[in-house]
Structure 1
Amino acid sequence: MPTDPVCGMELTSSDSVATVRHGGETYFFCSEECRQRFEDKPTVYTE
């Protein structure tokens, strides 16, 4: 089960509002706001 890396919410693929590919991984997000935060500073959430 994927987890939104920004807010920590557990998601099913159908719950995901957005996805982003980064560093060969696909990240799932509960909202566009979380997706935008991730895209602004991806290393904060991936390291």
Structure 2
Amino acid sequence: MKDVVCGMEVDSKAIKSTFRGKEYYFCSDTCKHKFDKDPEKYI
């Protein structure tokens, strides 16, 4: 799976966030915070 913010490959043990019932995974806290701030931008 890919980090939707930067496109880096990540696995299911990565940092995650849930938006509208779907889980999204991230390579870093920075990418997670960007997603959490404006999820519509990345989906």
- Asked if 1:44 corresponds to 2:41, the answer is yes
Partner of 2:25: 28
4+ residue segments displaced more than 2 Å: none
User: How many aligned positions are there?
Assistant: 43
| Partners of 2:11 and 2:25 within 8 A in 1 | no
**Structure 2 length-normalised TM:** 0.89
Identity of aligned residues (%): 37
What residue ranges of structure 2 are gaps of 5+ in the alignment? none
**Structure 1 length-normalised TM:** 0.82
Tell me the distance in 1 between the aligned counterparts of 2:42 and 2:4: 6
What residue ranges of structure 1 are gaps of 5+ in the alignment? none
